[in-house]
Structure 1
Amino acid sequence: MTEPSPKGTLSFFKDLHPPKSRFLDDVLDGLSKPQKSIPPKHFYDARGSALFDDITDTEDYYVTRTELGILDAIAGEIAERAGPGAVVIEPGSGSSVKIDKLLNALDNPAGYVGLDISKTHLIAACEDLASRFPGLSVGAICADFTQPVPLDDYPVPDGKRLVFFPGSTIGNFEPDEAQALLETYRSWLRPGDALLIGADRVKSAQILENAYDDTGGITADFNLNLLSRINRELDGDIDVEAFAHKALWNEEKARVEMHLVARRSLTFSVDGRRFSMEAGESLHTENSHKFTIDRFHALAKAAGLSVSAQWSDDREYFTLYWLERAETV
């Protein structure tokens, strides 16, 4: 049995952070494409993680407060389903408010394991959690959670596993990637374990575009910070002020897209390689797919998971799903 964390310390930490070369490879490859693009996982250096936390507090970004409201409403049912002594595993460790609500709702949870690509943010968040839940075994794994992580190789506490994947992060992935990610999470589940996952719903284009282009400009700063990170870590000389943030609703693909649009023609280098962009050309940085109930059920089924419960807010903006391993795949 894994011992609880002493106040403010971690039960274990594993550093599986991808090498810098992976960030560089993704950037060079993405900038070489006809439609330039960079995977959104690279938003999350320390500043990017902090900016995202700020985004969740904006009036325009309804996602977080809507999901929190659902968690408040279903706390008792979650506790009953999870049972006593559950172990929460959170890939993409994010808002402390969400994990606090979940842990406070559970019956004497045995442990928590956070996984995130941003090491500084991850350690700070997990140490803070350990200080506020001194009887909880808190572990941290710095890893790209889109890649398989062998949980059984690490001292994860005993108990029913509840994989917690809130915030509709699943929407950042193309359909085949989302299925592969859910299959990875399915591999972490044993009989009786569960995945509690949030998924944003299709709604009006105006509401969606406002959520990803808040009036305070925090989302724009978050998007532009990716360029600053490239300059800092990959020997880039990109003129960040030459780009503008843009969010748009793609009706055909049921997703919000975030882009960085060149205000003028420019050239720049990354790690010694030169690139050019014309005025109006964009760098595609994120997709956020939105779901209907039927579409999400189909995705879960394709990944070998079954929906045993689901909860939505009164406006039907957002849904939380309780998924378990399907008996047959």
Structure 2
Amino acid sequence: MSVQAYEVRDDDRRPPTADLLEVVQRGLRLHPKRLPSWLFYDERGSQLFEEICEQPEYYLTRAEIDLLDVHASDIAEVLGEDVRLIEYGSGNAIKTRMLLEQLRAPVCYTPVEISPEPLRQSVQRFGELFPGLAIQPLCADFTKPLRLPVPPRATRRNVLYFPGSTIGNFEAREAIELLRKMRAEAGEGGGLLIGVDLKKDPATIEAAYNDKAGVTAAFTLNMLARINRELGSNFDLDGFRHRAHYNPMAGRIETHIVSLRKQQVKVGKMFVDFDVDEAMQVEYSCKYSQADFAALAAHAGLQVRHVWLDPQGLFSVQYLTRADVAGHWSMRMAANGMVGG
């Protein structure tokens, strides 16, 4: 592999770190208070999320791995050969490895990750796993327009891979905007391969975000530790708690940081008051029926071409293309049915 393949390329259009203060202060001025979930993912937050994925209550990762274990070969068949695989929010190597092992003659792999150190670790892992594969990492916020590296050879199809259930962290309007951006980046003839968590027993969903070991709680409160460290704020982590509750009407987990007492916190030159039991919203995790997600995709000018399910029907991986693409896709769906597995 070339030296270039190991180079972590920084997209210079990323917002500067100095904007963090403005983002946090703006969120704390809202009523109710709200902070963006990307603040979770400093180096410590990324490590804690990997631990969350190993907790017995967190079914999502196991279900997606089970799905790929059964269907990775069929997914690769649908994607075809000479694919450039572009992964949003690259992290744990297991799922992507399972897919890359089945792809025929992939042109290159481009992991896109906002945190430099997890990205470097990811590149190192994949360099060892696939020594013959060109790896073109991009350190960037995938929600912003990306300047993707030039692939090393001609590409038949760009596939934007968005595993996990991160699409669920976006409200409907934001998810549609992101899907439209992904459609544009995939280009003519490209596709989107997206992990989508499905609606199920609310108790199962809630348990996944409230593990008994308290790892998710530590992950949530690490956001405050990051703000303290990077902005010199004085959040007392013992004065707040994690709360995650499933809202069946909205079809989503709503995660909040809740103040345990009346207190005041300094953020830059701003003083922020918290009342007892005041909840600050920090993340949504939307769950979908297959019809829900198909409707969301349609608003973005996309059509779901294939759906794969894990053996227990907890999780799905869905392949989307531009809604105006027809031909062999419709024939394939008519012959085989839309749902695989």
User: Shorter-chain TM-score: which interval?
Assistant: over 0.9
Alpha-carbon offset, residue 210 of structure 1? 0.6
Within the candidate set 85, 88, 92, 1:91 is matched to: 88
The percent of aligned pairs where both chains have the same amino acid is: 39
In the superposition, the TM-score normalised over structure 1's length comes to 0.94
Root mean square deviation, CA, Å: 1.6
In the superposition, the TM-score normalised over structure 2's length comes to 0.91
Alignment partner of 1:167: what SS?
Answer: coil
Within 1, Cα distance between the matches of 2:176 and 2:127?
A: 32
Cα-to-partner distance string for 1:172-203 (whole Å, 9 max, x where unaligned): 01100000000010001233321110111111
Query: Given residue 85 of structure 2, which amino acid in structure 1 is its aligned partner?
Result: V
Structure 1: 5+ residue stretches without partners: none
Aligned to 1:155: 150
Within 2, Cα distance between the matches of 1:277 and 1:12?
A: 40
Change (3 A) 1:156 1:12: farther
Query: Given residue 81 of structure 2, which amino acid in structure 1 is its aligned partner?
Result: P
Alpha-carbon offset, residue 233 of structure 1? 0.3
Cα-to-partner distance string for 1:118-139 (whole Å, 9 max, x where unaligned): 1111122122212221111111
Aligned to 2:143: 146
Within 2, Cα distance between the matches of 1:209 and 1:77?
A: 32
The answer to whether the 8 A contact 1:213-1:247 is kept is yes
Q: 1:1-329 maps to which residues of 2 (within 5 A)?
A: 4-5=1-2, 10=6, 13-16=9-12, 17-151=14-148, 154-157=149-152, 158-159=154-155, 160-327=157-324
Cα-to-partner distance string for 1:29-75 (whole Å, 9 max, x where unaligned): 11111111111011110110111111111110000110111111112
Within 1, Cα distance between the matches of 2:8 and 2:150?
A: 7
Change (3 A) 1:15 1:148: closer
Alignment partner of 1:105: what SS?
Answer: coil
Structure 2: 5+ residue stretches without partners: 326-341
Query: Given residue 169 of structure 2, which amino acid in structure 1 is its aligned partner?
Result: N
Alpha-carbon offset, residue 9 of structure 1? 5.2
Within 1, Cα distance between the matches of 2:8 and 2:242?
A: 39
Within 2, Cα distance between the matches of 1:216 and 1:121?
A: 24
